[in-house]
Copies of this chain bind each other. A is one copy, B any other.
Amino acid sequence: MPPRDNLGEFEQLVLLAVFRLKADAYGMRVRQEIETRTNRPTSIGAVYATLDRMESKGLLRSEVGESTPARGGRPKKIFTLTALGSDSLRRSMEALSKMRHGIKMGDLEWLV
């Protein structure tokens, strides 16, 4: 009964961003969060495509923001994790943790 399908790496990053941004989880902001935290350039198209696909899969749910934008601009589309989404995320993180168990970042430094 738990979801069986695995998440891609970018999907995990997006899900994590949505989770930590809470009520502020909309496309542009998600992109910014990923770029500043991971320091990896991320196109806006990649973010939206991924958000939409995950919504189709039922991992995310969305609603149009209600607040008044500061200085104009199109309304935000706020994303939230569904039960399925948080479950998938947890499973993916666990899989990676188990494979990584006991390995420290430093262990990878010296390799030829």
Which positions in A face B, CB cutoff 8 Å?
Answer: 6-10, 12-13, 16-17, 19-20, 34, 37-38, 40, 81-83, 85-87, 89-90, 92-96, 98-103, 105, 107-109, 111-112
Q: Given A86-B108, A90-B105, are A95 and B7 neighbors across the interface (CB < 8 Å)?
A: no
- A103 & B20 in contact (Cβ 8 Å cutoff): yes
CB within 8 Å for A19 and B103 given contacts A9-B9, A9-B12, A108-B90: yes
Number of copies: 2
**Nearest residue in B to A88 (C-beta to C-beta)?**
B108
Q: What 19 new A-B contacts, CB under 8 Å, besides A16-B96, A19-B103, A37-B98?
A: A6-B10, A6-B40, A8-B8, A9-B9, A9-B92, A9-B96, A13-B99, A16-B99, A37-B99, A38-B94, A38-B95, A38-B99, A82-B111, A82-B112, A86-B108, A86-B111, A90-B105, A93-B105, A96-B96
